[in-house]
Structure 1
């Protein structure tokens, strides 16, 4: 669940192909996630400041999406645009 929260809250919170860095990630487990159950994953940007992006998210089951299984808050740092082009020159936006 932690990897899922980091993936959906982190590197692409702006919908871009930029590789981001996780600065902090706080995960709260509220209930066990049932096996073989489709999940609903939501994430939203709650703030931006220069290259720092703050994100909140939740994981629920599709059937009972009002009951959180996991909630998370994270801070992520987008790369410097000039360094990103040098580091990821072979990547194309999706």
Structure 2
């Protein structure tokens, strides 16, 4: 009877120990998952920032190109207006 009681106590102790290990494993797993989530979020943030920087550079390039086009258009319009005036003067 004492032997059965000892075996029962040992099995209860082993069960409690196993449950304790399971809790530790679960806590460590949750901590690792949280760390992974944070690192992944930071990576996404860095990638998003890099895409934003590239888009800003593209926008600046487009703005400069548009500005150059507008300046060229104004110059050409002025030249055409000058030519038209000279043609009118020559005609008269």
Give me the TM-score of the superposition, normalised by structure 2.
Answer: 0.15
Structure number with larger C-alpha Rg: 2
Greater per-residue strand proportion = 1
Give me the TM-score of the superposition, normalised by structure 1.
Answer: 0.14
Which structure is higher in RCO with an 8 Å CA cutoff and minimum separation 6?
1
Greater per-residue helix proportion = 2
